[in-house]
Structure 1
Amino acid sequence: MKKILFRKLLTDCLLFFFITLISASTIIWVFQAVNFLDIMIEDGRDYLVYISYSLYNFPKIISKILPFAIFFSFFNVLSRYEANNEMVIFWNFGISKLQVINFFLGFSILVLLFQMLLNALIVPKTLDTARSLLRSSDVNFLEGFIKPKKFNDTIKGLTIFTDQKDDDGNLKNIYLKKNTDKGFQITIAKTGIFENRNKNRVLVLYNGQTINGDGNKITTFNFEKSDFSLNNLDTNTVVKTKTQEMPSKFLITCVKNLSFSNSSSVNQDITNCSKKNLYNIYKELHKRLIVPFYLPILILISFFLIISSKENPNYTRLKYIVFTSGIIIIVFSESVLKFITTEFNHNLIIFSLPIIIFLIIYATLCFLFKKPKLKTR
């Protein structure tokens, strides 16, 4: 019977947890996906790149929502059990409150490992894959981000201006400036239109002039019709690998090397592995490997709800205190990043904080539940 009771409580917590996690993550993802429309509209990427890029960012959203979802789920289910007098069943079958705590303590370890797997392996991989899409994709919706009477410099090394643009995509009074290795190229045309030729995107210009600048030498030529190729164009979007996209094993190796070296860069094969980036590396490692240790703390805090029954006049106040404490822990786990430094010994203290807090809370629960007055309800 005890196993059935534990299984029922765990099932209810898990069900509410998954519903909360997926629902909240989906809502945030939808709002974020709207912001990612800039990739397609202003950056000239196609629909498949936009959709794929948005989906690859979904695991990151889940990792951010998970701490609140796990705490809110346990808080809600335990409150509901108490309101429906279901917790009394546990005590009537001889199950102690410490047994309940210890059972879910083991479950919290599984949640910790899942969050660590998500933060350390899955999220960096998906973020790097999303960035790779921008690196490898072409700008094939160039006409989409060209706005009349506005200088458009989304394309790296290229500035485009047009005085008018009709519904058919025809451009009037066009100005293009392209930076080259040796100088610049300025093209002025009265009209222009985008065309597809052999799967290549071309801007066809009519009645204009091209000025080439090469050092102190300037040449010009007029044309009635000229093709401006749009292949192999890069945007100003950041496509370099960021610290948050690096594999965890690289970050750990980088910290290990930099902590015992005075050189500014130890391993050129590891992206961003330098003394000046050590602060960001420590912060990223804290997010991936240390923040998950706050999950067992959040689960333990929710079990303060079983200290007293709903008949206690202070029970409502207890619920407010427990909920507020959980939110404080969630905020604290993120805000402590501001205290990260480049010194390993200093960071070691910060890294050990969740273990210290966990031991204090667990010891407090053990003390409270061993008091005689708490053995019966």
Structure 2
Amino acid sequence: MKKILFRKLLLDYLKFFIISLFSASIIIWVFQAVNFLDIMIEDGRDYTVYIKYSLLSLPKIINKIYPFALFFSLFYVTTKYETNNELIIFWNFGVHKIELINFIMKISLIFMVVQILLASLIVPSTQDIARSFLRSSSVNFFGNFIKPQRFNDTIKNVTIYSEKKDSDGNLFNLYLKKETDINNFQITYAKKGFFKEINKFPILVLFDGQTITVKDGQTTNIGFTKSDFPLKNIETNTMTYTKTQELSTKNLFLCIEIIQKTKSDIIKTNIENCSKQNLNNIYKEFYKRLIVPLYIPLLTLVPLLLIISSKESSNYNKIKLLTFLIGLFSIIFSETTIRFVSEIFLFNFTISIIPIIIFLFLYLFFLKNFSIRKFN
């Protein structure tokens, strides 16, 4: 009978957890996808790149929501069981409160492993793949990112300004500046222009203008009635390098090992962002992936503070409010500690064992309140 009761409780926890996790994640993802759409349009990216990039951001959102969804699910279901007198069934069938706590504690280890896998393997991988789409894609919708009366610098080393733009995509009173290096550049003025493609290469066709070229201190001025401004092999100003958060956990380990073995400030490695100047960020990313999930067992035990007292108790509502605040504070605290990670190993170690210490303290608190006895 005990197994049936525990199975029913676990299924209720899982059902509400999965619903709350994915519901909240999808809502946040929709809002974020709208922002991505604006960025992609301004950057002139293809819609297929936008779809792939936005979809691959979902695992990161799920990872962020995971701790709160887990705590809230356990808190809500435990409160519901107490309100509906379903916990009394557990006690009447000989389930001791410490047995329930031990059961949830074992389940919490599985939840912890899931988040470690999510944070250390799935999220970095999907973030790197998403970034690779930007690295390998090109600007396709050129007419989209040209906003009238704004200096548009989406294209690297090229600035385009247009006074107005009609419904057919024609641009009027254009200013273009193309930089080849610090001292050499080209400025073009034109009364009208529009984008077209020739052999799949974009070209800005300009009418009635002049081009001023500055090269090695010499200036030339050429007028034209029609001129083609090619945009072949262009790059955007969007960051396409691999960020620290996109590095695989294996590369983080290797990077830390290389830095510790290298006495020189110059690190010779193929791992991007692997440098002594970036060591603090590497430690923070490592902490976020492997240490923050250690708060999961703690977050699963906190809702069980509700079983200390029954709903008939005069202070039950206070305990319920305090339990929710403790769980919320634990989530905020776990994220806040990331900022305190430094290059000092002893300090990092101290921060890392905080969730273990708090967990043991809470478990001992339960042992003290619920007498330990032999169970049948």
Bin of the TM-score, shorter chain as denominator length: over 0.9
2:149 and 2:291 map into 1 onto residues whose CA distance is: 51
Amino acid at match of 1:231: K
Residues 227-249 of structure 1: CA deviation (Å, up to 9, x unaligned): 11222221211111110000011
1:86 and 1:149 map into 2 onto residues whose CA distance is: 66
1:45 and 1:255 map into 2 onto residues whose CA distance is: 36
Number of the residue aligned with 2:328? 327
Number of the residue aligned with 1:233? 234
Number of the residue aligned with 1:158? 158
- Name stretches of at least 5 consecutive residues in structure 1 with no aligned partner: none
Q: More deviation in 140-149 or 81-90?
A: 140-149
1:236-251 matches, within 5 Å, as: 236-251=237-252
Residues 169-219 of structure 1: CA deviation (Å, up to 9, x unaligned): 111111111001471111111211111222222111112222221111222
Number of the residue aligned with 1:97? 97
265 and 347 in structure 1: CA distance in 2 versus 1, 3 angstrom threshold: farther
Amino acid at match of 1:134: L
1:1-377 matches, within 5 Å, as: 1-181=1-181, 183-370=184-371
**Please, what TM-score do these two structures have when normalized by structure 1?**
0.96
TM-superposed CA distance for 1:113, in Å, is: 0.5
Q: Secondary structure at the match of 2:17?
A: helix
1:67 and 1:287 map into 2 onto residues whose CA distance is: 13
Q: Secondary structure at the match of 1:42?
A: helix
Contact 1:175 1:188 in 2 (8 A): yes
Contact 1:203 1:228 in 2 (8 A): yes
Identity of paired residues, percent? Answer: 55
2:149 and 2:270 map into 1 onto residues whose CA distance is: 45
Contact 1:248 1:285 in 2 (8 A): yes
1:117 and 1:332 map into 2 onto residues whose CA distance is: 21
TM-superposed CA distance for 1:371, in Å, is: 7.5
1:350 and 1:261 map into 2 onto residues whose CA distance is: 26
2:285 and 2:198 map into 1 onto residues whose CA distance is: 46
TM-superposed CA distance for 1:322, in Å, is: 0.5
- In the alignment of these two chains, the number of paired residues is 373
Amino acid at match of 1:313: S
Q: Secondary structure at the match of 2:16?
A: helix
TM-superposed CA distance for 1:122, in Å, is: 0.5
Amino acid at match of 1:117: L
Q: More deviation in 18-27 or 351-360?
A: 351-360
- Name stretches of at least 5 consecutive residues in structure 2 with no aligned partner: none
Amino acid at match of 1:338: R
2:154 and 2:244 map into 1 onto residues whose CA distance is: 24
2:27 and 2:266 map into 1 onto residues whose CA distance is: 42
Amino acid at match of 1:204: V
Contact 1:210 1:221 in 2 (8 A): yes
Residues 294-319 of structure 1: CA deviation (Å, up to 9, x unaligned): 01100011111111111111111110
Contact 1:259 1:344 in 2 (8 A): no
1:159 and 1:270 map into 2 onto residues whose CA distance is: 33
Amino acid at match of 1:44: G
Amino acid at match of 2:333: F
TM-superposed CA distance for 1:146, in Å, is: 1.1
1:42 and 1:203 map into 2 onto residues whose CA distance is: 17
Contact 2:155 2:234 in 1 (8 A): yes
Q: More deviation in 32-41 or 116-125?
A: 32-41
**Please, what TM-score do these two structures have when normalized by structure 2?**
0.96
1:149 and 1:85 map into 2 onto residues whose CA distance is: 67
Q: Secondary structure at the match of 1:169?
A: coil
Contact 1:254 1:267 in 2 (8 A): no
1:146 and 1:266 map into 2 onto residues whose CA distance is: 41
1:172 and 1:114 map into 2 onto residues whose CA distance is: 56
Residues 92-149 of structure 1: CA deviation (Å, up to 9, x unaligned): 1111111111111111111000000000010001111111111111111121121222
Amino acid at match of 2:316: Y
Contact 2:98 2:372 in 1 (8 A): no
